[in-house]
A and B are shown apart, each in its own frame.
Chain A
Amino acid sequence: MLKHICGQCSKTFKSQSAYLTHHCLTTGYSPKHAPLQVVITDLKKTPPFQGGDELSSDMSSSFRGNPALQSGEDVIAKKKTDKLSENDILAAVTATRKAKQRNA
Chain B
Amino acid sequence: MLKHKFFRKDLEKWISAPAEVWQWEATYEDGGVLKQFGDDGVFHQFAEIDQERLAMFKMVSPEYSQTYTLLFSDPAMKLIHFYRNKVLNAGTADEERIRYYCFGYEKRIGTKVHKTIMMITPTNDLVVTEEPALVTSSNDSSS
Contacts and interface: CB of A to CB of B under 8 A. Distances in A.
Contacts, number: 34
A86 interface: yes
B36 interface: no
A86 B75 contact: no
A96 B31 contact: no
A95 B76 CA distance: 15
* Chain B interface mostly: loop
Interface string A83-98: 0001101100110110
B55 A94 contact: yes
A101 B73 CA distance: 10
Give chain A's interface residue range (CB within 8 Å of chain B): 10 to 19
A104 interface: yes
Contacts of A100: 73-76
Contacts of B31: 87, 90
A95 to B, nearest CB: 9
B22 interface: no
B55 A93 contact: yes
B56 A97 contact: no
Contacts of A96: 73-74
B27 A90 contact: yes
B56 A93 contact: yes
A40 to B, nearest CB: 19
B73 A97 contact: yes
Given A86-B27, A86-B56, A93 B72 contact: yes
Central interface residue in A86, A97, A100, A101, by most chain B CB within 10 Å: A97
A96 B55 CA distance: 10
Interface of A: 86-87, 89-90, 93-94, 96-97, 100-101, 104
Interface of B: 27, 29, 31, 55-56, 69, 71-76
26 contacts: A86-B27, A87-B31, A89-B56, A89-B71, A90-B27, A90-B29, A90-B31, A90-B55, A90-B56, A93-B29, A93-B55, A93-B56, A93-B71, A93-B72, A93-B73, A94-B29, A96-B73, A96-B74, A97-B55, A97-B73, A100-B73, A100-B75, A100-B76, A101-B75, A104-B75, A104-B76
Closest 9 CB pairs of A and B: A96-B73, A94-B29, A93-B55, A93-B71, A93-B73, A97-B75, A101-B75, A94-B55, A100-B74
